[in-house]
A = this chain, B = another copy of it.
Amino acid sequence: MALLVQKFGGSSVADVDAIRRVAQRVAASRAAGDDVAVVVSAMGDTTDDLLDLAGQVSPNGPPDRELDMLLTAGERISMALLAMAIQDLGTPARSFTGQQAGMHTDSSHGRARLLDVTPSRVADTLKRGEVAIVAGFQGVSEDEDITTLGRGGSDTTAVALAAALNADVCEIYTDVDGLYTADPRIVPAASRVTRITIEETLEMAAHGAKILHLRAVEYARRFGVPLHVRSSFSDQEGTWILVDRPLTGALHQDGTTRHTSSASEPHPETHTEDPMEDPLISGIAHDKSLAKITVVGVPDRPGAAAKVIGAVSTGGVSIDMIVQNVSTSPHGLSDISFTLPEADGAIAVAAVRDLQQELGVEDVLYTSHVGKLSLIGAGLRSNPAVAQRMFIALADAGINIEMISTSEIRISVITDQDVLEDAVRAVHSAFRLDSEADAVVYGGTGR
């Protein structure tokens, strides 16, 4: 008997039929003897509809506090309906708001951070053998104001609840049946990943994979919550995201099974292949909405990079990748490049130009419309053949690499936005990640 936290996104509870389907799944888990806490998002388009109303009544932009009050009505509706549907199947269930579930946050409306999670009412409900349903995305501040956790907030709620309840697993039900080796909309032959480490998932989420929110993955990593990403529309096994394992350990000895068909999944440990021919790749993430700034001729002295990056960050711009080469110029000058969300380009350029004189920088170059491809897998740094194969694949496809950045488990390259999808396909093929089965993708996204 396990304690499960099951999270259902907006597309999983989009209408009455979907809610009843989720209710059957939850009731079945309960009937199998597991304790079940459910975290639920607002139904389908509810959030967008409410945002639309807010825009209509406040042409000058709705105030954050009231927007949180408004949007949290969405989960209130879905969770109450789900509790009703589960009870209608004869399984006792009760719903809890973020406040009732002990989701205490700071006061940053619209992007509140969890401070403390004390789900005693949820725990009591589970102890009585009932299903507890918790509103995703929402919390309560120390001033007892209603807050929301921002986009991806329901995933974060689920992981935080699982951590606080010491759940055996946090199941993330979504409209895709797991994590894929690449976005199946771009690489139709992308294959489902059976198992992946939390660190690799973190890199995937941080570098553009949309299925799990970065913040939820960070939370799961910190608190050691195993995640299981599954489809709410099928009984596919989905993807297990495992924690508390060394990055290059036993798991990765069987990592080669990740891109085999699901038929081999029951015994992944027994499956081996040549680790050189098939490196330990988890998948390819990509991000299409980036821009790039290169600061040319930065004096090679301590603090120069800090000043450049500091000026941009102060303007509220979130910087993505930073690359600085060693100074080879006789004048001790180097170039610093960094990527950032395309939407923040103008602010960032202005911030750097303001510094140009002070720093004695030669030039500031701005390139919008760049893309990033990230190859993620265990032990990449210690395996130069992987990078080599990746760069060859890109060269063979005629794709120019503008920047390179690597971590222990990731190699990212910046390319022109227009060739990014070709790049993803080329690298996916080069690492033989292509599956014979088509990926299953259902429409819509939750929050």
Contact = CB atoms under 8 A, between A and B. Distances in A.
Interface of A: 16, 19-20, 23, 50, 53-54, 56-60, 62-63, 65-67, 69-70, 72-74, 76-77, 79-85, 87-88, 94-95, 97, 100, 121, 144-146
Given A53-B16, A62-B84, A66-B84, A76 B73 contact: yes
Contact of A88 (B58, B65, B100): B58
A76 B69 contact: yes
A295 B94 CA distance: 46
A79 B69 contact: yes
The main secondary structure of chain A at its interface with chain B is helix
Contacts of A121: 144
A77 B60 CA distance: 19
7 contacts: A16-B53, A57-B84, A60-B88, A63-B83, A66-B83, A69-B95, A97-B146
A140 B314 CA distance: 43
B84 A76 contact: no
B16 A100 contact: no
A81 B54 contact: yes
A44 to B, nearest CB: 13
B73 A73 contact: yes
A333 to B, nearest CB: 52
A135 to B, nearest CB: 9
A299 to B, nearest CB: 49
A81 B74 CA distance: 14
B69 A80 contact: yes
Nearest to A88: B58
Contacts of A50: 77
Contacts of A73: 73-74, 76-77, 80
Contacts of A62: 84
Nearest to A77: B73
Contacts of A82: 57
Contact of A70 (B58, B66, B77): B77
Nearest to A92: B63
Interface core residue of A69, A81, A146 (most chain B CB under 10 Å): A69
Given A66-B95, A73-B73, A80-B69, A88 B57 contact: yes
A369 to B, nearest CB: 36
Given A53-B77, A65-B94, A76-B76, 19 more contacts: A16-B56, A16-B57, A23-B57, A50-B77, A54-B80, A57-B81, A59-B88, A63-B83, A63-B84, A66-B81, A66-B83, A67-B84, A69-B95, A70-B80, A72-B76, A73-B76, A73-B77, A100-B145, A121-B144
Given A88-B60, A100-B144, A144-B100, A67 B80 contact: yes
A84 B16 contact: no
B94 A66 contact: yes
Contacts of A88: 57-60
A70 B58 CA distance: 26
Which 4 pairs, one residue from A and one from B, show the smallest C-beta to C-beta distance? A70-B80, A69-B80, A58-B84, A57-B85
Nearest to A76: B73
Nearest to A79: B69
A70 B97 CA distance: 11
A328 to B, nearest CB: 57
B144 A54 contact: no
Given A73-B77, A83-B66, A144-B100, A19 B57 contact: yes
Nearest to A63: B87
A98 to B, nearest CB: 12
Contacts of A87: 58, 63, 66
B60 A70 contact: no
Nearest to A43: B53
